[in-house]
């Protein structure tokens, strides 16, 4: 699902007043209002926990799907490889995807670079042509594609289609571009995407999410669809078979490097804090990650950098990324004063953008 960019809301809330109510009670009321069964939230100040709470039977260390919050993780892996001289951000992606080169029909694909994928300017616009990583049972059957979906088959098929705009000319959120980044990481390292990224960006215990209920691992929460949401047809069955959307309406394996990680809120908060402090990437590389892309107006105060939303504040850059699909909402935020949080939920409200705005209002008011 397309990530809703909420970074302008962050800028507006930086000076929010502190509420008198207890934060744990505020969050509990938020969950009740939005009918979300469980959550895990970690707030850090300069790397030290100042608020940690789990709700609805979850534990603080419970694992949640994090959806598009996987993108900063993938971007960090790519930038590490650039630091090591194993790739350059302005290299053309087809140099690293030779197995798909013969599939292309739009000559502009030859000009797409790794940087374009990282900043969502590769030429794919989900609003215009759809999102192949969320292909439904009906779409897969109509196009004669495999059930369950095969990632390489989907990539090869999507690359035969024309781009929606000139690469590098504007921003348009693209899960597909981040799926390609995972394949580039594999080509450069000779390792599976998840193995390299867990070892060098997260930790060796980090895991990719399964899709089906029986694929849940020890310590992972259960996922719930929006109340009253109708079931969907499973993409894991060749015959029509209705399932709850979080457990088979789409394949998480297809979107591994775009939206596939499991995480705990403490682990995710530590990742963002370490990233912001130059403890994963070198300072120069981090500056490159946060730099305003050239196609944004020069007076822009908010933009998508290389894998992360950036809001320019008087005190420095604030960082944010949100992710959501049925059964999941995740958000990470870091402010320049050292305030950092990760918030994970096991259901996605129908109006998830409004929910995120309320969540930000609540959590950013902990920043005294």
Quick one: tokens of 316? 């420095």
Q: How far apart are the first and last CA of the chain?
A: 33
CB burial of residue 121 (10 Å; 0-12, 13-18, 19+): buried
Calculate the dihedral angle through the C-alpha atoms of 56, 269, 360, 175, rounding to the nearest 10 degrees.
-100
**pLDDT tens track for 165-178:** 999 999 999 999 99
Q: How far is CA 325 from CA 106, 117, 143, 151, in A?
A: 30, 21, 23, 18
Report pLDDT for 10: 52
Question: Which position has the token pair 């930086």?
Answer: 14
Q: 345 pairs with which residues across the strands?
A: 39, 329
Q: Encode the chain (368 residues) as per-residue pLDDT tens digits.
A: 544 444 445 554 444 434 345 788 999 999 999 999 999 999 999 999 999 999 999 999 999 999 999 999 999 999 999 999 999 999 999 999 999 999 899 999 999 999 999 999 999 999 999 999 999 999 999 999 999 999 999 999 999 999 999 999 999 999 999 999 999 999 999 999 999 999 999 988 889 999 999 999 999 999 999 988 999 999 999 999 999 999 999 999 999 999 999 999 999 999 999 999 999 999 999 999 999 999 999 999 999 999 999 999 999 999 999 999 999 999 999 999 999 999 999 999 999 999 999 999 999 887 65
Give me the residue spans of the domains in the chain.
7-364
Q: Is residue 339 classed as helix, strand or coil in its secondary structure?
A: strand
Distance, CA of 62 to CA of 355 (rounded, Å): 21
Distance, CA of 104 to CA of 92 (rounded, Å): 14
Distance, CA of 336 to CA of 100 (rounded, Å): 41
Is the separation of the CB atoms in 40 and 64 below 8 Å? yes
Report pLDDT for 69: 98
Report pLDDT for 326: 98
Quick one: tokens of 181? 């980044």
Calculate the dihedral angle through the C-alpha atoms of 196, 201, 203, 205, rounding to the nearest 10 degrees.
-50
What is the 3-class SS of 165-176, one letter each residue? Answer: CCCCCCCCCCHH
User: For the CA atoms of the chain, what is the radius of gyration?
Assistant: 20
Report pLDDT for 68: 98
Architecture of the domain defined by 7-364: 3-Layer(aba) Sandwich (3.40)
Report pLDDT for 323: 98
Distance, CA of 94 to CA of 152 (rounded, Å): 14
Report pLDDT for 366: 76
Quick one: tokens of 212? 């089906």
Report pLDDT for 368: 55
């Amino acid at each position: 699902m397309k990530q809703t960019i909420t970074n302008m809301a962050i800028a507006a809330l930086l000076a929010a007043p502190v509420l008198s109510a207890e934060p744990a009670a505020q969050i509990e009321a938020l969950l009740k209002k939005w009918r979300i069964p469980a959550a895990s939230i970690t707030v850090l100040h300069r790397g030290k926990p100042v608020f940690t709470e789990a709700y609805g039977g979850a534990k603080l260390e419970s694992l949640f799907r994090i959806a598009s919050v996987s993108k900063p993780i993938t971007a960090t892996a790519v930038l590490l490889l650039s630091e090591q001289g194993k790739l350059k951000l302005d290299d053309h992606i087809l140099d690293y995807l030779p197995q798909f080169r013969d599939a292309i029909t739009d000559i502009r694909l030859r000009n797409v670079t790794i940087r374009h994928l990282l900043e969502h300017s590769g030429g794919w616009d989900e609003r215009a042509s759809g999102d192949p990583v969320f292909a439904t049972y009906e779409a897969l059957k109509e196009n004669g594609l495999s059930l369950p979906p095969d990632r390489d088959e989907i990539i090869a098929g999507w690359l035969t289609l024309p781009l929606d705009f000139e690469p590098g000319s504007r921003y348009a959120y693209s899960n597909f571009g981040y799926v390609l980044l995972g394949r580039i990481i594999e080509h450069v390292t000779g390792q599976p995407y998840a193995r390299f990224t867990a070892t060098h960006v997260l930790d060796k215990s980090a895991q990719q999410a399964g899709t089906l209920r029986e694929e849940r691992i020890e310590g992972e929460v259960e996922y719930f669809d929006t109340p009253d949401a109708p079931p969907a047809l499973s993409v894991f069955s060749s015959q029509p078979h209705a399932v709850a959307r979080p457990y088979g309406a789409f394949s998480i394996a297809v979107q591994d490097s775009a939206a596939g990680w499991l995480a705990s809120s403490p682990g995710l908060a530590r990742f963002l804090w370490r990233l912001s402090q130059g403890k994963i990437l070198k300072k120069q590389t981090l500056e490159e990650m946060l730099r305003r892309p050239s196609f944004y107006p020069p007076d822009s105060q908010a933009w998508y950098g290389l894998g992360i939303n950036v809001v320019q504040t008087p005190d420095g850059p604030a960082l944010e990324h949100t992710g959501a699909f049925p059964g999941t909402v995740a958000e990470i935020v870091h402010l320049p004063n050292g305030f950092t949080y990760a918030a994970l939920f096991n259901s996605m409200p129908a109006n998830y953008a409004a929910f995120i705005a309320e969540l930000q209002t609540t959590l950013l008011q902990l920043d005294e």
